[in-house]
Amino acid sequence: MVLYYLGLIANPVFIAADVLLYREYLSSLLEIRAVLELGFVICFVMLKRRVALFTPNVLLALWVLIGNLCIAQMTVILGGFTAQYYNGLNLVFLAAAVIVPISWPTHLAAQLGTLLYYYGANFLHAQSQAGLDAAIENSFFLVWTCVALLFSVNLYERLQRAEFQARVSERRISRQLEASNRKLLELDRLKSEFFANISHELRTPLTLSLGALKTLQNFSLNPESEQLVLSGLRNTSRLLFLINELLDLAKFDSGRAELRKRCIDMATLVRSVAANFESSQKSRVHLKGVSESALAEVDPRQMKKVLYNLFSNAFKFNDYEKGQVWVRLTAKEDCLELEIEDNGIGIPRDQLERIFDRFTQVEGSATRRYEGSGIGLALVKEIVRLHEGAVTVESKVGQGSTFTIKLPRGRASPEDLVTVEDDDTVTVPVLPICEQDSARGMTPSSPSSSDLPLVLIVDDHPDMRSYLERVLSRRYRVVLAKEGADALEQAKTFYPDLILTDVMMPRMSGYDLLKAVRGDPKLRSIPVVFLTARAGTEARIESLEAGADDYVAKPFDENELLARTSNLIRERAQERELVQLQKEKIARFLPPHLADMIIAGDRDDFLKGHRAEITVLFIDLRGFTAFAESAEPEVLIAILREYQTEMGSLISEYGGTLERFSGDAMMVFFNDPIPVPNHAEQAVRMAIAMRDRSAELRMKWTKRGIDLGVGIGIATGYASLGVIGFERRRDYAAIGPVTNLAARLCGEAQHGQILISGRVLEVVEPLVSSEAVGPLTLKGFQRPVLAYNIKGLRPFKD
Ligand code: ADP
């Protein structure tokens, strides 16, 4: 519409230019301008009447086309291609591109139409050479103007489209954000509502349970039932306390928290709260400044919560036995200052700020093990803030923490003083200081039925410990530990069949305990079951990856716990049987302690090739070949067995390693694989014992008409040792002249002789009396060898 107004007005205005520049062509120009004006008028009317065919786009295109054609016609009248009005064409192309909002293809169509008309009409009129030159020159400018304009219109269109799309998506995103924001707010409101409702719903049954338990307390109960009721009371009130804290938090969130201030004596309040944390066994709360009254206008119920939280933290993050708390109340003119100091685990400096945030607990293994919700201090801060006071903390890791509260006293006056009533719902259940365990001791229960498997229960929570004890003692003997280090001691003393341990415990966590158990060769095979409050696959995987044999999440089903533990115990018993069998098998060839060593996998290195100084003893029966030829097989085997049993027991007794039997011959090593400090001496002592024992055997055999005696050879020196053989048959062997020498000496020994090499004699000379034998010519030795026969041990001199 605006463009048409512009056209209708501008066209007559340009008549002035026609008059000034081309007065002689005025009539023709006026005709064209009249046609142009008529065109604009017709289109304008169509626009006004909203004729369907003349859409805004068509009308805009017509605006451009009519203007362009008229100017082209003017050039025809004003001298063809040489006419200056061709500049008008450039001008209208430019103006159209800038102000007429039509698409670039429409612009292109309008420009093509105009150029066609311009060239067609001007060529039809006879043209001079100058005119043709001007046509070429004009074409250059006109075409490039058109191309440049079309390009910029196209670019502008694209920019506009991109901008439009960006705006659309921006609007869509902001609409989505608004919607999700509304949804979140609604969800938050619903959550708070649900939270408040469910907490209320939980409070009712809990209060009723508490009531029932309290009534039960008044009945005359046996000690066990009394303990059960007490444990129920403690834990139900803890739950109630937590729920109340959550409700309080919800109230703070919704801005519904209000203070009901009264004038009270803070000294009395501090004394009464502190009394709940005192122990019957020893004093652990030290009060200062509470003997005089300290009036303040506060909400007593909320203040009680503050004190309970600070006191319970002071003892919770502390040693059960050694935990102490010092409380100082200072009354100043317009404010009260209360300090609660403990000697607990302390808080790292970088975490001091965070601990007042909701659900925040100090990170790191030191506190991870303490149960808690991370609500307490957030509540303390909110309550103190509502009282227009401030709470601060100072702490040193490993030394303790001091929480300081500054409270304005308000308009406290003695006339308005009220006494603070007891209110169960704000108190924290205080845990006893492990009296159950110290009373019962940590020795296994039901020692009489000692064939029952033994389970070690490790938990720092006394109630949980006694609950587990109750459940497991139905099937097992039970031993208790209240923390990791303690558990390790118990495990070393009692070698339990299973360890059931809590994960988060003071000082030594369940993970640390597990590591210690697995690191101890004697405890290594004991199954360890984790008991943890963290449910879910992640916790399960974590436990199993740490090397626990199983994992039970709290709350657990008693039967499931029993089933899991008994499976593991059964598996362990089977494993033990297997180990015993293996041990027996190996012990047939090796001394029992060596068998133990191999099964425990402690000293695999001796199986690898190595060099060591050893003493080798060979023993065999004189006259055996002749006897074997004539004897019945049963008799032969019985005699051999008798002889080998006797000699075998001596080998074990003297710490030798029976390397092999071969018929009546036996080869024994000293000092490898089991280290024997005086190996040559030990071998000689054993040889004498063997000679004595075989003399007894010989007497028995002679009575049965069997003529057998023993010969022994001993040599000492370096040999290469290790396992030789192939996959299905391996042997532990010593290779070197020392074995050969011992074997040859044994071969030379007459009945009752113990022949030793010169090197052995060097070691045992002070110990034995001997006589030289030889020199002997021995197979495998180039020079004759001087040997010595041991007559016996020298008499012991004082
Ligand atoms: P909760 O005790 O339930 O974990 P709190 O809000 O009461 O939650 O305390 C937050 C954290 O601050 C605790 O988990 C603990 O790490 C730390 N903390 C509070 N009081 C003490 C204290 N007296 N000694 C050491 N650490 C403390």
| Whether pTM exceeds 0.75 | no
* Ligand 1 atom nearest to CA at 342: 23
Condensed to tens digits (0 to 9), the pLDDT of residues 546-575 reads: 888 888 887 788 888 999 899 889 888 887
Give the span between the Cα atoms of 458 and 482, in whole angstroms: 6
Residues β-bridged to residue 98: none
What are the residues whose beta carbons fall under 8 Å from the beta carbon of 1, sequence distance 6 or more?
A: 47
**pLDDT score, position 425:** 53
Task: Using DSSP, state whether 659 is helix, strand or coil.
Answer: strand
What pLDDT sits at residue 451?
A: 78
Distance 259 CA to ligand 1 centre (A): 25
Residue-wise pLDDT for 51-72, tens only, equals: 877 887 788 888 888 888 888 8
CA of 344, closest atom in ligand 1:
24
- Ligand 1 centroid – CA 350 distance (Å): 14
Torsion of the alpha carbons at 730, 736, 740 and 741, rounded to the nearest 10: -140
Q: 307 near 273, Cβ under 8 Å?
A: yes
- The CA-atom distances, in angstroms, between 395 and each of 330, 392, 591 are 20, 10, 59
Q: Distance, CA 368 to ligand 1 centroid (Å)?
A: 10
To test the pocket of ligand 1, the residue of 244, 245, 310, 313 to mutate (highest count of ligand atoms within 8 Å of its CB) is 313
Which atom number of ligand 1 is nearest to the Cα of residue 318? 24
Query: Which residues of the chain register pLDDT less than 70?
Result: 126-127, 196, 280-281, 363-371, 421-450, 535-536, 582-608, 725-731, 796-798
- Rounded to an integer, what distance in angstroms lies between the CA atom of residue 479 and that of residue 498? 10
CA 436 to chain centre: 33
Q: How far is the CA of 314 from the centre of ligand 1 (A)?
A: 8
Which of 355, 399, 430 for mutating ligand 1's site (highest number of atoms within 8 Å of CB)?
A: 355
pLDDT for 385 equals 92
- Nearest residue CA, atom 11 of ligand 1? 361
Kindly list the distances between the CA atom of residue 145 and the CA atoms of 65, 72, 91, 330, 584, in Å, as whole numbers in the listed order: 16, 16, 10, 92, 107
Q: How far, in Å, CA of 178 to CA of 127, rounded?
A: 71
What's the pLDDT at 167? 92
Cα–Cα distances (Å) from 469 to 472, 517, 528, 532, in that order, read: 5, 21, 16, 16
Q: SS3 for 341? A: strand
Which mutation among 285, 317, 403 tests ligand 1's pocket best, with the greatest number of atoms within 8 A of CB? 317
Is the Cβ–Cβ distance between 744 and 778 less than 8 Å? yes
Residue 717 contacts residue 708 (beta carbons within 8 Å): no
Residue whose CA is closest, atom 13 of ligand 1? 361
Residue bearing the CA closest to ligand 1, atom 19? 313
What separation in Å is there between the alpha carbon of 356 and the centre of ligand 1?
A: 9
In angstroms, the CA 284 to CA 275 distance is 10
Phi-psi sector, 657: left (phi>0), alpha (psi -120 to 50), beta: beta
Rounded Cα–Cα distance for residues 548 and 499 (Å): 10
pLDDT at 496: 92
Question: How many Å lie between the centroid of ligand 1 and the Cα of residue 346?
Answer: 9
Give pLDDT tens digits for 727-765. 666 667 788 888 989 999 999 998 899 999 989 999 998
* Ligand 1 cavity residues, CB under 6 Å: 309, 313-314, 317, 342, 344-347, 355, 360-362, 367, 372-378, 401
Q: How far is CA 323 from the centre of its chain?
A: 30
Sign of the dihedral through C-alpha 57, 61, 67, 70: negative
Helix (H) or strand (E) holding 70: helix 56-77
Which residue's CA lies nearest to atom 3 of ligand 1?
A: 372
CA distances from 404 to 362, 395, 599 (A): 19, 11, 60
| Planar angle of CA 646, 647, 653, nearest 5 degrees | 95
Convert the pLDDT of each residue in 126-176 to its tens digit. 567 777 777 787 888 888 888 888 898 889 889 988 999 999 999 999 999
Question: Which atom of ligand 1 approaches the CA of 374 most closely?
Answer: 8
CA dihedral sign of residues 356, 357, 361, 362: negative
Note the helical H segments in 219-299: 223-254, 266-277
Can you read off the two tokens belonging to residue 36?
Answer: 């142009």
Among protein residues, the one with the nearest Cα to ligand 1's atom 16 is 362
Supply 795's token pair.
Answer: 């008499």
β-pair type (729-735, 709-726): antiparallel
Closest ligand 1 atom number to CA of residue 379: 6
How many whole angstroms from 317 Cα to the centroid of ligand 1?
A: 7
Contact between 304 and 426 (Cβ < 8 Å): yes
Q: Which helix (H) or strand (E) holds 696?
A: helix 679-703
> Per residue in 91-115, pLDDT tens?
878 888 888 888 888 888 888 888 8
